[in-house]
Amino acid sequence: MPDLEITRQLPAPPARVFEALTQPAELLKWWGPEGFTVSEGPLDLRTTGPWSSVMVSPDGQPYKVSGHVTHVTADTSVGFTWAWHDEADQRGPESHVVIALAPTPDGGTTLTLSHRDLPNEEAAARHMGGWQSTLNKLEALVAG
């Protein structure tokens, strides 16, 4: 099963990035690719347990994804399962995401996003594009 890994240097300390990753009001500001909005939740990565979101594309198409938060380590990492839903609201194959944070000497953060167990190379390529775009929004939020 394909995996992907993305590393970004963010101009904010790990505590600020972790807040943006886990606080529901902050998540709504960056979750989903550029141009997408989030219409439904609960999108809450503060504690272990279920989460879900419906991302809406610029043309109004909804995309539902859900999972279970598997771990939360303050200012260091958050992990969760991930599965898209089809038009009948049935969950598809489950994959696993870990977002890890490490401080940099200049007061910023190295963010490493690992998305494991994707069903195929096509899904990995789509997720790579989606996560890159999503992380652009996170970077702009924490830089502001």
Domains of the chain: 4-143 (3.30.530.20)
pLDDT digits (tens, 9 = 90+) for 4-56: 999 999 999 999 999 999 998 899 999 999 999 997 678 889 999 999 999 99
Per the model's pLDDT, the better-predicted residue between 41 and 88 turns out to be 88
Q: What is the pLDDT at residue 39?
A: 78
- Is the distance from CB of 109 to CB of 14 less than 8 angstroms? yes
- What is the average pLDDT across 81-87? 97
Q: What is this structure's pTM?
A: 0.95
Q: What is the pLDDT at residue 40?
A: 67
The mean pLDDT of the chain is: 95
- Is the distance from CB of 5 to CB of 113 less than 8 angstroms? yes
- Is the distance from CB of 142 to CB of 17 less than 8 angstroms? yes
Nearest to 134 by CA among 3, 34, 15, 21: 34
